[in-house]
Every structure is written in C-alpha cells, then in structure tokens.
Amino acid sequence: MQPQGNVVSAPSKPQRQPIAKHKVHAERIDHQLAAPFRRARFVLAAAAREQLPADAGGAEVAFAGRSNAGKSSAINAICDQTGLARTSKTPGRTQQLVLFDLGDDRRLMDLPGYGYAKVPIAMRSGWRDLVDGYLQQRQSLVGVVILSDLRQALTDFDRQMLSWCATRELRCLLLLTKADKLSRGAAGSRLQQIRNELAGAADVQLFSALKKQGIEPARRWIAEVLGNLPAESS
C-alpha cells in the first residue's frame, strides 16, 4: 500500500464533490460487502495438502481456471488489492495451493492453473494429485469459482470442475473473464449461450478485472456461500 500522507491537491480543485443521494446508499452497501475482501491476507502457498491449516469448521471458496484465464487478476480485483495474488504474463508457473484469509475462519483458495501445454507431464500429474486431493478431501470447501476467458470455449477441465461441484454438491460460480474484450452485445449473447448450455449447473456472470465489471456480484456470491463474513475488523 502506498502512503497517502504527502499527497497535495491542486489548489483549483474543490475540496469535496457533492454526492448524489442514491450514490451514498449504494456506496455504503458496497463498502460493507467489500470490507472483508479488502482485509484479505496471504496465508501460505502449499505444495502439499498437509501444509494447509486444519480442516475443521472453516469455510473456503476455491478459484479454479486454465492458466492465463485471469484468475489472479480476478482475486486482486475482488479483494481490491493490487498485489495479493500475483498476476503473470507467463502462464503455468504457480503450482501451489495459495490461501488467503478473510477473517473468522473464512478463506479464499487460489488453485494452480490447469491446462497449459508447456507444463511438463510430471508436473501435470503432480498438479492433478494436489488439486484432486484438495477437491475431494477438503471439508472446508463450500464453493468453487471457475474462471474462463469469455472469448474461448469452456475447457475439459472447466467441465470436469463443474461436474465435481455437482458430485460434491458444491456451489459453483462461472466467471466469464476479460469481458472488456468483446462488445456489450457480443458479451451478453455469449453469457446467455453459456447460461443456456449449463442449464443452472452453475451461476454464470460476466467479469472484467480491467473494467471492474462483475466485482460486486462476485463478492455477493462468495459472501453468501461462505456465510458470516466479519463486517468489522477484529
């Protein structure tokens, strides 16, 4: 975080902008919803499931997606923090379970990205053990957010993840990322097409970390699935 102390406003700028009434209400609600995400903290990056904190009584929402789908950017945007999850232009590097704490035993889990061709076979099977083990065994896991580039077809892994969610009766949100790359109309019809195709198997939303689109619905979904997010810092 940058220190704000020495920022001096230009003398011509008015000190306060009048705020429209309906905006005051909207911002208050947004702030309450955003607060636990803004306080999200990195806990650890685990190369093995045994390194994770005790699987007792907490609640986790996991983020899954093909490498380069925009997962780290989405986590950063949802948490309103620039460097929480590292974003990268070199796909497939992170092969660990990365955990973030929201307080009150609520957590976000950044799963290693899948389906990148340049990852060696041995690493891919390591990935599978780690991710499968987590998805099958973790009792704290209550929901999965799948990130998929709006412009690309759903991958086999996206579909596998959807079917996992159905098997374990986990809530599932599919975020169609990089929505800024298509026109509003094209993005809207792609959204409708995927909603029809999935027929209620997942909630589906448009998302753009770049344009800050779909952040509030994503926060609302996660907060609802995790339940009891702490409103005040403790």
Q: Is 177 helix (H, G, I), strand (E, B) or coil?
A: strand
Does residue 177 touch ligand GDP according to CB under 6 A? yes
Does residue 76 touch Mg ion according to CB under 5 A? no
Does residue 67 touch ligand GDP according to CB under 6 A? yes
172, 183 contact by CB (below 8 A)? no
Least distance between ligand GDP and beta carbon 79 (Å): 13
Which stretch of DSSP H or E encloses residue 201? none
Q: Which of 112, 113, 143, 214 binds ligand GDP (CB under 6 A)?
A: 113
**Which region, judged by CB under 5 A, interacts with Mg ion, from 14-22, 26-34, 36-44, 64-72?**
64-72
218, 74 contact by CB (below 8 A)? yes
Distance (Å, whole) CA 18 – CA 10? 18
Distance (Å, whole) CA 31 – CA 52? 30
Q: Which of 62, 73, 78, 100 binds ligand GDP (CB under 6 A)?
A: 73
Least distance between Mg ion and beta carbon 158 (Å): 16
In Å, how far from its chain's centre is CA 88? 15
For Mg ion, which is the closer residue by CB, 38 or 93? 93
| DSSP label at residue 202 | S
Does residue 65 touch ligand GDP according to CB under 6 A? yes
90, 78 contact by CB (below 8 A)? no
For ligand GDP, which is the closer residue by CB, 58 or 112? 112
| DSSP label at residue 68 | T
Question: For the chain, first and last CA: distance in Å?
Answer: 20
Count, residues near ligand GDP per rule CB under 6 A: 20
Does residue 205 touch ligand GDP according to CB under 6 A? no
Does residue 72 touch Mg ion according to CB under 5 A? yes
Does residue 140 touch ligand GDP according to CB under 6 A? no
Does residue 177 touch Mg ion according to CB under 5 A? no
For Mg ion, which is the closer residue by CB, 39 or 66? 66
Q: Is 67 helix (H, G, I), strand (E, B) or coil?
A: coil
Distance (Å, whole) CA 42 – CA 108? 9
Least distance between Mg ion and beta carbon 94 (Å): 6
Q: Is 103 helix (H, G, I), strand (E, B) or coil?
A: strand
Interface residue list for ligand GDP (CB under 6 A):
65, 67-73, 87-89, 91, 113, 177-178, 180-181, 208-210
